[in-house]
Amino acid sequence: MSHLLNPHQWVAAHADYLYAYAITRVNDDDQAKDLVQETFLAALQKTGGFEGRSSERTWLTAILKNKIIDVYRKKSSGLRSSEVKEAEEEQNSFFDEETGHWLKEYGPREIGIEDKDHIVSKEFEHILTKCLQKLPVLWKSVFTMKHIDEETTDTICAELKVTPSNFWVIIHRAKLNLRACLQKNWI
């Protein structure tokens, strides 16, 4: 079946969805709204390229996704140095400088999420959201693209201009900080 576009119904049919998609990734209400608007306007220019192979919503989401990557790229390029340096310093203190062993006060201890079937409470979700927001923009972007949008490593490296080896370091460092933040704030 081939899909059709109906711009007269776009807002009613997809605006809330696109807004939710954007706000979870950029954490900024005004910016999320702008992105939704830009997506529709850009889509109007591209209707000729729509072949009907995917649904209208999938097609619009793909346009939005590219706009979000632009935001990631812009946000992370300027502050890359200071913001990332700070986060890196924080986690250097987790390990013994010489041996690389966990220092006792930072070593992982069980916080009730280790069991596969554990239930995630609202309070925990709240802390997780806060901890995600604390990550440097570049790390959060890489982490989100990999884990949520399931982009390939090659795509992420190309879009955000990081090398493959740096990519793995970022995935790991984001996880280290996120985990430490959860352990610290979940008592």
Partner 1 sequence: MSYLKKIIHNCKKATFLIDKKEMGSISLREHIELRIHLIGCSFCRIYGKQSRAINKMVRELFQSAMQPGIKLDDDFKKDLQERIEEELNKS
Interacting residues with partner 1 (CB under 8 A): 7-8, 10-12, 15-17, 19-21, 23-24, 33, 36-37, 40-41, 44, 94-96, 99-102, 107-111, 113-114, 116, 118, 120, 124-125, 128-129, 132, 143-144, 146-148, 153, 168-169, 171-172, 175-176, 178-179, 182
62 or 82: CB nearest partner 1: 62
CB 90 to partner 1: min, Å: 14
Measure the CA dihedral 28/31/36/37, to 10°. Answer: 150
CB 177 to partner 1: min, Å: 11
1 or 116: CB nearest partner 1: 116
30 or 51: CB nearest partner 1: 30
> What's the CA gap between 50 and 123, in Å, rounded?
43
> What's the CA gap between 28 and 33, in Å, rounded?
9
185 and 130 Cβ atoms separated by less than 8 Å: yes
Sequence-distant (≥ 6) Cβ neighbours of residue 103 within 8 angstroms: 93, 94, 95, 96
